[in-house]
């Protein structure tokens, strides 16, 4: 059992390697967490949780071999005391209700700034997470429930820069790719950070891959996860 000064052993489950790396970096830059394992699918997740005995599991909804809510239900059932939270691109009340039914301790969006994600995870571990309102952060929503998207404020060039950052390219490489100077790339990034309210390349990659800037398919084969299944 963790005490106030003992880092929470954490496992990250997401099929995007860059998102796993970004979440790991955010937690390593904070205090109170230590990442002891990662997994890209549900099958690997079950094994790494068994092998590492974590205190906290952070799971995406969309996984190659199942979905995170079904996985969360299994982990909560099979590992008493384990805190499981969903970190998703999807701001959807059906998913939140399904997560609640599965016994998760929080439902957060991948577009949360890093410091807010850390604070939300601490709340979940302390048992003070709230499901009364919408998920924390801004994610993809149904077409009949539109919200302003800061990504719409980006210029075509800024979208190009974000795409290349999300692919792991350095400022120098981006400059070469686009035929501009590294100083111009840095200027574009400063504007992008301001417009998207992010503080680092890591958070920018989270926003990009979470779906705000790139189209994504439905998380579970085009259908909502079954809360009872």
Residues of each domain in the chain carrying CATH 3.40.50.2300 = 8-126
pLDDT, tens digit (0-9, with 9 covering 90-100), for 57-67? 999 988 888 88
Mean pLDDT over each residue of the chain, to the nearest integer: 80
**Dihedrals φ, ψ of 187, to 5°?**
-65, -45
Query: End-to-end distance of the chain based on CA atoms, in angstroms?
Result: 30
Residues of each domain in the chain carrying CATH 1.10.10.10 = 150-212
Q: Which residue has the higher pLDDT, 205 or 78?
A: 78
* DSSP code string of 42-70: HHHHHHHHHHH--SEEEE-SEETTEEHHH
Q: Is the pLDDT of residue 212 over 60?
A: no
Per-residue HEC secondary structure of 195-209 comes to: HHCCCCHHHHHHHHH
Instruction: Please tell me the predicted confidence (pLDDT) of residue 224.
Output: 44
Instruction: Please tell me the predicted confidence (pLDDT) of residue 211.
Output: 52
Confidence bin at 217 (pLDDT 50/70/90): very low
Q: Which residue has the higher pLDDT, 5 or 51?
A: 51
Q: Which CATH architecture has domain 8-126?
A: 3-Layer(aba) Sandwich (3.40)
The domain 150-212 having CATH identifier 1.10.540.10: the answer here is: no
CB count within 10 Å of CB 161 equals 26
Instruction: Write down the pTM of the prediction.
Output: 0.64
């Amino acid at each position: 059992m963790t005490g106030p000064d003992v880092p929470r052993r954490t496992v990250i489950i997401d099929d995007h390697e860059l998102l796993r790396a970004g979440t790991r970096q955010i937690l390593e830059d904070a205090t109170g967490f230590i990442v002891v394992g990662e997994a890209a699918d549900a099958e690997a997740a079950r094994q790494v949780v068994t092998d590492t005995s974590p205190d906290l599991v952070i799971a995406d909804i969309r996984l190659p071999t199942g979905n995170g809510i079904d996985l969360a239900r299994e982990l909560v059932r099979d590992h008493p005391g384990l805190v499981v939270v969903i970190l998703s691109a999807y701001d959807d009340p059906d998913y939140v209700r399904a997560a609640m039914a599965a016994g998760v301790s929080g439902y957060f969006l991948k577009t949360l700034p890093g410091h807010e994600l850390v604070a939300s995870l601490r709340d979940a571990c302390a048992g003070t997470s709230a499901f009364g309102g919408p998920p924390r952060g801004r994610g993809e929503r149904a077409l009949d429930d539109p919200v302003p998207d800061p990504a719409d404020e980006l210029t075509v060039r800024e979208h190009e820069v974000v795409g290349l950052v999300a692919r792991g390219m350095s400022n120098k490489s981006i400059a070469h790719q686009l035929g501009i100077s590294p100083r111009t790339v840095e200027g574009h990034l400063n504007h992008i950070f301001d417009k998207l309210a992010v503080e680092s390349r890591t958070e920018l990659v989270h926003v990009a891959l979470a779906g705000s800037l790139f189209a994504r398919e439905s998380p579970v084969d085009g259908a909502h996860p079954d809360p009872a299944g």
